[in-house]
Structure 1
C-alpha cells in the first residue's frame, strides 16, 4: 500500500479531498493554512507522523493567461519556483541564484517535481509560489518574465516542496484552475469547476502512484 500526503491551504478545499479514494493508496489530507511557511511546517509535521511515498501540494490556483489553460482545467507542476524570494535592485528583481544564496544546500528556490506525472496527458509545466496573490497586469507580466512558461500561481507549493526535500520524499503540485492571474475579478472565479477538475487530476496522479 502506497501512502500519499495531500496538503491544502483551506478546509473548504479539503472537504472534497477527504472523500478521495484510490485502490492501493492510503491518502491523508492535511489543512496547512495559507502561504509557504504554514505549508512547510504542516508538511513537516505530517511527514513525521504519517510518512509518505508522495507529497502533493494541491487546491485551486490561478492560470497565466498566455499558457493556454482555461478556468476549469487541471494542471501538474514540472517544477515549483519560489518566485518572490530574492532582492530588488532598483526596479530589477534578483532571484536567489543571482545573489549566490540558497534555501537549502544546492537549492535556490526551484524545486523539481516527481516525474511520474509526466505522461498523464494533462498540462504540465512550471508553477510559481508567491506570498501575495498577483493582482495586476504588470505583476503578472513580471512573473512570466522571471519564470518563462509558468502555468499556475499558488501560495503553498514551494513550502510543501521544501519540507518534502528535507524529508527525502518525492512531491508534486496539482491545481484546479479557478481564475486567471492578473487583475482580480472575484465574480469570474469558478471554484466549483476548479475543484471538480482537481478531483479528476488527483485520481490520475494517485492511480499512477499505485501502479508504480
Structure 2
C-alpha cells in the first residue's frame, strides 16, 4: 500500500523520516494541510492519505498522554455558526463543504481503520479538527457536548480528508496524545510519548 503521511511540523516529520513512506510537512491548520495533501496526491498514485501527529484528548475519551487514537470519522468541528449558546453545524444551516452535494464536514475514513485500531489496542472514534486549539475547560466541555464520542482534537485532519475525498483517495487520522483538551499546561505535555505513539500507529499500518 502506497501511503501518504501529512504532518504539520518538521519536528513531527523528524520522528518519522526513516519510515518507508512519503512524509510531507504541510504547515499548521486545515487549509495548509489540504493544499499540501492535494499537491502530494498529484505527484503519485497513493492508496491512503494519513493525517498524523500529536493531539489533545477529550475528557470522556479515557485517553492519557502516550496513548494513540485512530479516527472513525474526521470532523471539521468548528465549521458552522454560533447562535447564542447553540452551535449550528453545516447540516443545520443547510450548507455544504462541497459545491454540488450535501456534506457537513464529517469525513468518512479508510475502511481498515477499525481493524488497525484493534491490532494496536487503540480506540477508534471521532477525531475533531479545529482552527483554534481548545484552551479552557468550558470550551472542552462545550465541544464534548456537541461531539460526545470525540477522542482527540488536532488542526489538520479535516483538511487532509477533504483533499483526499476530492482526489478519490481514502483518508485516516492517527493522533498520539500529548495532553488533555482544556487549559494549556505546557509543562505537563508529553510530546515525546505522543510522537512515539503516532510512530507506533504508522508502523503497524505499514506492516513494520
Query: Contact 1:9 / 1:31 at 8 angstroms: preserved in 2?
Result: yes
Distance 1:9 1:188 in 2: 21
Corresponding position of 2:97: 103
Deviations 1:84-113 (A, max 9, x none): 000111221100010000001231100011
Distance 1:82 1:205 in 2: 24
Q: TM-score, normalised by structure 2?
A: 0.94
Q: What are the ranges of 5 or more consecutive residues in structure 1 without an aligned counterpart? A: 22-26
Distance 1:4 1:40 in 2: 16
Distance 2:27 2:58 in 1: 24
Are 1:91 and 2:85 counterparts?
yes
Are 1:20 and 2:19 counterparts?
yes
Q: How many residues align?
A: 202
Q: What are the ranges of 5 or more consecutive residues in structure 2 without an aligned counterpart? A: none
Q: How does 1:15-164 map to 2 (within 5 A)?
A: 15-21=14-20, 27-104=21-98, 105-120=101-116, 121=118, 122-164=122-164
Q: TM-score, normalised by structure 1?
A: 0.92
Deviation of 1:147 (Å): 1.1
Distance 1:45 1:157 in 2: 16
SS of the equivalent of 1:127 reads strand
Query: Contact 2:95 / 2:102 at 8 angstroms: preserved in 1?
Result: no
* CA-atom RMSD in angstroms: 1.1
Deviation of 1:4 (Å): 0.5
Are 1:202 and 2:202 counterparts?
yes
Deviation of 1:51 (Å): 2.8
Moved over 2 A (4+): none
